[in-house]
Structure 1
């Protein structure tokens, strides 16, 4: 079994979930953020989540969600993890983790070395970190924009909790991203879409294969 764990985010149909499972991914992401083209209502999300086989972790992406919003979400949709993709503070991360009893993944946007400072603090309260490309100031979405960052910024670094690499990944570049950063987990959304917000099942399979394939030794 591959040592690389794959997350496919932004699923919208039960068929998407089945394809992700067949591809061998470990996490399936569902988006709950109305401005996103990948946003789901609770009933649709429940149907998509129920299609997941045992062992495929269902992750809910939320952005600065209120307790009321999260109460409604976890009551309706069977979930395994919450992904906080907004401006949540360490205190808020700890509060959500304690209140809802689910593992929490905190997303951190990175554009330069100065953005790495908060990762250690967040690793004290979150169960996992997601290191993503920092969105432009005028961006509509906090993630899923298909942007990458300088992967050398996180190359060979370690934090207190497991971390996942995101931002601009695709089947064409994920192996190189893994090689450069030594990431053990990778996340993709726009990189496996045919059009914005619509998953391409062939691209999902290709991404998973590329991420989980054994590395090819380089000739010296």
Structure 2
């Protein structure tokens, strides 16, 4: 039985793109000078210069987004991880092989994150709307394909994501029937998991498992 449905994946991805959403909205508001008549904004711009204001805004967006990353991951995984640690749920696995995801696995996400920032002028509401629509379509594709392994909420909040071969069976049983091994993506807080250790895990979606040391 899977822990997550589509709803949890949408929460993950909309939070992942939160910095981009906020930056696009800021650039749109700034291009129209919608805050230009507010005295405190005028004072800050006069004191810090335009570049200083933009630096502070971007910094605040990054800090707020990181906070949201941690809150959403904690909300989605805390109970499941606690239950695994206590042995209340999940199954015991051995990890037979493991490797980190390659940089290429993250390429599509990075391109979808950076291209809207550099390719469009946000003085136009149409451009802003089109950018939002493109991102929404990208998120729908991610969710439809259960592709959460490259979601930045994991590696920015202390989780490690690996490609792995896991098994609930002995090595002898695997030699007789190699199909009992599972090719999976594992999400864990263990850095460089030891193949000699035992782990308890539960499937989040598709072939993606949340794993803790048993």
| TM-score normalised by L of structure 2 | 0.24
Q: TM-score w.r.t. structure 1 length?
A: 0.23
* Bigger relative contact order, structure 1 or 2 (CA pairs below 8 A, ≥6 apart): 2
Greater helix share, 1 or 2? 2
Q: Which has the larger radius of gyration?
A: 2
